[in-house]
Chain A
């Protein structure tokens, strides 16, 4: 029975892809004749020709390429050259051409790579712009612009002039072939300089390999609904204990925190080791240099009213910390502190990734959000992501003792007069 079911699944789900893959591989060797209409500009391998304003199309999904051909044909995407060509191709030939170029993996011409990727372009691509209401390009086009086939194209390695022209077309409303108007909204908010910056940035990146073959197919038409069979209804009172429920989406396993959803493991309201007393957060911080990760000490910080939080006495509070030893640990370079931070008393590289660390004791926060207190700093240094999950600062493997020494050194630094 199990084997029969497996065979069925294989026949239904896997075999068509295999057949398709074989066909596609064959096509790679033997391009459909109509491709002759394309190679003049896009190249026999789909590498494109920047001088002719023709983009790279190798390895874009068949779904996407077919959609563009159809868009040229119905003028939801405008181009003097492409419109008549697309209109002249019978629908089934468009399908063949799209499948052909989707299967190709043209080498990326390094000469086409943008040499001057702008910082503004990088920010727009990866972060967006809050004031403009522009989300990051990579939300949809993927990290590094590799796309999300079948429906979202890669934009990495596209020629900057082509990319600029397309974003401008979205902005001006001459390209309208996205149903949700996402591209229109984004492009409309961008200035000509922003558009150019984004295009330059993506032109500096390497395009991806073709998507897996099973993603190359255009979506199949929906199948007819199966006839209703006799449903069986679970008797009332049935209750699966281990089902956690997202709103309208019951689910099993893992979702309700570490330890999963097995209700047999705990009683209502709390379970497991973490049932430490939240009402008594007064035990001292564990900064004894042991190997224990400092994550759980979060609940054990001294009550705020008990701690002297003024910066003046901060350095005294790093009990047992030796500023000279701390400086030596940083200067040794083993933990890479200066790669990201500029730290007085430590020779270059004077990193600019993280904040300058002079005058640290005068600041209100660590990592922009933790109270700047010695015990917190010591815990943070040992495992930054444990306390601030979003921080870019990695765990560099400091022991409790090393962290205390470094904290002592950092609190000894005065504000630098240098710019």
Chain B
């Protein structure tokens, strides 16, 4: 037990990306920190090595790196009128578990959200008028700006070693990068990855239509890179085993490659794995956390006390933990009151495909998880929504993460789904198909939210998180428009056949879309509509900080990780420079 240690300053709940970053910043500030990780300890050597790491059946199909949903899962329903049922098998999204967290199995797609995203509500109102926002849409401002976050984005990307090309350096637009991005203070730490053939075809087509093509920023590195923590990453080998897998080459930026080895050597830090946190404990005022209660791997229940709690679990689990700990008022969709669980959002995806004749060899197996060419012309508010009647957008790109043998079988519509004809079609099309990724935003609505399930419990007897979600009409309209734009590009790519349909409801929990679950513990400046303040500090319990994509008031067109990392560094900064000097609320209610 913790009894051997005299005084503990901080507890990390979850030792993934957020936990590792906060652990490093807090121990560096002299705090004694314990990191509680529910999963197993794991490292690039020996745990991620081949040949076992390329076991597609085990990792992609059976999802070996994911949260064990025989012990803990979520229940799901489309609307408050339905009865939610447990998700028995992960499909739509894949929450990870284990040391390093979900980012161990990420693709490495590394985007900064734009200023329009952070101030979405006020920008939409200013540009299109208040009536432009549909009644059921509850988008709101984050309470931070892109300019405020820039130093933290910069620091995070230099920790990761991100490979990319700037499109806006200190206000100067640079063709070939993302010209829609907000000013960045310097170039990416490493140049973009090589452009695959299919992406080159996309670039030509998109530029021919007048769009601004640029290489997707990648955390599968284009060259060796030593980060400010002194850790060196290798060059990606384009093996095509990123998403759902861990990287065996030290080439993907994950806690194991960018930070953990440094943190684990720090005498102020102690890692405890196999520790399932049940709740954050509060004192009798309910306004101060005293520590946490967790169950260790042998089943013993242990109370651990500390003066600062960092909640850095997977986004949806952050929400659940606050609900189980009774921190903040649970959101009620009927009245719109309460905050915890509010504004759950997702991502609105569609995937047109371009089928070429056999002279075009795409070699889909020769990719990384973030290796393609894309445009942001239809992302966020980068285009005029006035005549279109919806909010948000999508980035569009020829981004293929893999051509793995079990999973990747592109066939045109009308192909039988099994048998000799199917096999023939797979052989015909496997190497001659491009997929276009339409990565769309997700507005928050009044009816999409998270709460505790009244029926189903986990292996520790605690209520499961209940997810109520369906695609808002706004996002279906957005997807129809952006998918049409993607198909127009696809037609210019020289294929014999372009297929694809926009995202439509109902949301299908059995089809993989993305692991970008956001909201539930959203940030803001108004405690009546946010769970944490702009420093990610709980409005209700000031020594609890909650960090993750759960802070997003709604989800943008881009992938979330870069923004999570920037928010985490900003919060670490606020804790070290402000909170530790004078513990208490960093913002007045």
Give A365 to B4 CA distance when docked, in angstroms.
Answer: 22
Within 8 A of B (CB), among A289-328: 298-299, 303-305, 307, 309
A233: Cβ under 8 A from any B Cβ: yes
Within 8 A of B (CB), among A139-158: 139-140, 143
The majority secondary structure among interface residues of chain B is loop
Give A328 to B444 CA distance when docked, in angstroms.
Answer: 65
Min distance, Cβ A281 to any Cβ of chain B, angstroms: 6
Contact status of A128 and B45, CB under 8 A, knowing A257-B62, A269-B76, A275-B88: yes
A419: Cβ under 8 A from any B Cβ: no
Question: Are A135 and B297 closer than 8 Å at their CB atoms?
Answer: no
Question: Are B407 and A255 closer than 8 Å at their CB atoms?
Answer: yes
Question: Are B297 and A252 closer than 8 Å at their CB atoms?
Answer: no
How does the 8 Å CB contact mask read for B508-536 relative to A, with 1 for contact and 0 for none? 11111110000000000000000000000
Give A400 to B50 CA distance when docked, in angstroms.
Answer: 34
Contact status of A254 and B406, CB under 8 A, knowing A240-B413, A244-B511, A307-B299: yes
A109: Cβ under 8 A from any B Cβ: no
Residue of A nearest to B256 (CB): A130
Min distance, Cβ B147 to any Cβ of chain A, angstroms: 31
Min distance, Cβ A182 to any Cβ of chain B, angstroms: 6
Partner of B300, one of A131, A257, A309, A365: A309
Residue of A nearest to B461 (CB): A303
Contacts of A269 in B (CB 8 A): 75-76, 84-88, 509-510
Partner of A268, one of B232, B422, B508: B508
Contacts of B492 in A (CB 8 A): 228
Question: Are B410 and A248 closer than 8 Å at their CB atoms?
Answer: no
Min distance, Cβ A313 to any Cβ of chain B, angstroms: 13
Contacts of A226 in B (CB 8 A): 356-357, 359-360, 494
Give A271 to B85 CA distance when docked, in angstroms.
Answer: 11
Question: Are B408 and A279 closer than 8 Å at their CB atoms?
Answer: no
Give A138 to B461 CA distance when docked, in angstroms.
Answer: 44
Min distance, Cβ A63 to any Cβ of chain B, angstroms: 15
Question: Are B297 and A365 closer than 8 Å at their CB atoms?
Answer: yes
B75, B223, B406, B417 pick with most chain A CB within 10 angstroms = B417
How does the 8 Å CB contact mask read for B270-313 relative to A, with 1 for contact and 0 for none? 00001000000000000000000001011111000000000000
Min distance, Cβ B557 to any Cβ of chain A, angstroms: 14
Question: Are A248 and B86 closer than 8 Å at their CB atoms?
Answer: no
Partner of A250, one of B353, B455, B459, B504: B353
Interface size class on chain A is 35 or more
Give A239 to B353 CA distance when docked, in angstroms.
Answer: 13
A238: Cβ under 8 A from any B Cβ: yes
Contacts of B487 in A (CB 8 A): 233
Question: Are B509 and A234 closer than 8 Å at their CB atoms?
Answer: no
Contact status of A371 and B495, CB under 8 A, knowing A279-B457, A281-B459, A303-B461: no
B91: Cβ under 8 A from any A Cβ: yes
B452: Cβ under 8 A from any A Cβ: no
Question: Are A234 and B51 closer than 8 Å at their CB atoms?
Answer: no
Min distance, Cβ A353 to any Cβ of chain B, angstroms: 15
Partner of A233, one of B201, B457, B499: B499
Within 8 A of A (CB), among B63-103: 63-64, 69-71, 73, 75-76, 84-89, 91
Min distance, Cβ A305 to any Cβ of chain B, angstroms: 7
B23: Cβ under 8 A from any A Cβ: no
B235: Cβ under 8 A from any A Cβ: yes
Binds A, one of B166-174, B396-404, B546-554: B396-404
The majority secondary structure among interface residues of chain A is loop
Question: Are B85 and A270 closer than 8 Å at their CB atoms?
Answer: yes
Residue of A nearest to B490 (CB): A231
Min distance, Cβ B412 to any Cβ of chain A, angstroms: 9
Contacts of B298 in A (CB 8 A): 309, 364-365, 371-372
B231, B261, B356, B435 pick with most chain A CB within 10 angstroms = B435
Residue of B nearest to A239 (CB): B501
Contacts of A298 in B (CB 8 A): 70
Min distance, Cβ A334 to any Cβ of chain B, angstroms: 29
Question: Are B49 and A389 closer than 8 Å at their CB atoms?
Answer: no
Within 8 A of A (CB), among B394-447: 399-403, 406-411, 413, 417-418, 422, 435-437
- 25 of the cross-chain contacts (CB-CB < 8 Å) are A127-B46, A133-B231, A139-B49, A140-B237, A180-B235, A227-B494, A231-B495, A232-B497, A244-B91, A246-B401, A248-B437, A250-B351, A250-B353, A251-B407, A252-B417, A252-B422, A253-B418, A255-B60, A263-B511, A269-B87, A278-B70, A304-B459, A369-B274, A369-B297, A390-B52
Interface residues, chain B, with chain A CB atoms under 8 Å away: 40, 43-47, 49-52, 58, 60-64, 69-71, 73, 75-76, 84-89, 91, 107, 197, 201, 223-224, 231-232, 234-237, 243, 248-250, 257, 261, 274, 295, 297-301, 349, 351, 353, 356-361, 364, 372, 399-403, 406-411, 413, 417-418, 422, 435-437, 455-461, 464, 480, 487, 490-502, 504, 508-514
Interface residues, chain A, with chain B CB atoms under 8 Å away: 12, 126-131, 133-136, 138-140, 143, 180-182, 184-186, 222-229, 231-234, 236-240, 242-257, 261-263, 266, 268-271, 274-275, 277-281, 298-299, 303-305, 307, 309, 364-365, 369, 371-373, 389-390
